[in-house]
A and B are shown apart, each in its own frame.
Chain A
Amino acid sequence: MEFETIDDSQNKFPAEAIEELKAMSKWMNITAVFLIIFGILAILGNLATISQKGTGFLELITNGVGVYLGFLVIKKAGFFNAFSETHNERELIEALKATKLYWMISVILIIVGFFGGMILN
Chain B
Amino acid sequence: MSENENVVITDESKTFFRSSAVWIRAYAIILLIFLGIMGLMIIILSADKNGSIVGQMLEKADPNLKNLVDEVYYAVILCGAIIIAVLGYAVSKLLSAGNSFTAISYTGNKDEVIKAFKGMKTYWMYYGISLILMIIFGVFIAAKVIVAGLELKV
B114 touches which one: A8, A14, A34, A110 (CB < 8 A)? A14
List the B residue with the shortest CB-CB distance to A84.
B4
B124 A28 Cβ-Cβ under 8 A: yes
- On chain A, the residues within 8 Å of B2 by CB distance are 15
CA distance A24 to B4 in the complex (A): 17
A13 B16 Cβ-Cβ under 8 A: no
Interface assignment of B141: CB less than 8 Å from any CB of chain A:
no
- On chain A, the residues within 8 Å of B3 by CB distance are 87
Interface assignment of B7: CB less than 8 Å from any CB of chain A:
yes
Interface assignment of A121: CB less than 8 Å from any CB of chain B:
no
Which of the four size classes fits the interface of chain A? 35 or more
List the B residue with the shortest CB-CB distance to A10.
B108
A96 B20 Cβ-Cβ under 8 A: yes
Interface assignment of B118: CB less than 8 Å from any CB of chain A:
yes
- On chain A, the residues within 8 Å of B109 by CB distance are 9-10
B132 A13 Cβ-Cβ under 8 A: no
A96 touches which one: B7, B13, B31 (CB < 8 A)? B13
CA distance A104 to B16 in the complex (A): 13
- On chain B, the residues within 8 Å of A16 by CB distance are 114
CA distance A100 to B31 in the complex (A): 17
Contact code string A1-34 (vs B, CB < 8 Å = 1, else 0) = 0000000111111111110110110011011001
B108 A35 Cβ-Cβ under 8 A: no
Interface assignment of B5: CB less than 8 Å from any CB of chain A:
yes
Contact code string B1-22 (vs A, CB < 8 Å = 1, else 0) = 1111111111011001101100
B16 touches which one: A20, A97, A111 (CB < 8 A)? A97
List the B residue with the shortest CB-CB distance to A31.
B128
Which of A13, A35, A107, A110 neighbours the largest number of chain B CB atoms within 10 Å of its CB?
A: A13
A34 touches which one: B4, B13, B118, B131 (CB < 8 A)? B131
B108 touches which one: A11, A27, A30, A111 (CB < 8 A)? A11
A27 B124 Cβ-Cβ under 8 A: yes
List the B residue with the shortest CB-CB distance to A100.
B20
Extra contacts besides A13-B7, A17-B114 (6): CB < 8 Å: A8-B1, A14-B113, A20-B117, A23-B121, A27-B121, A99-B20
Q: Shortest Cβ distance from B34 into chain A, in angstroms?
A: 8
CA distance A14 to B121 in the complex (A): 16
Which of A9, A14, A92, A103 neighbours the largest number of chain B CB atoms within 10 Å of its CB?
A: A103
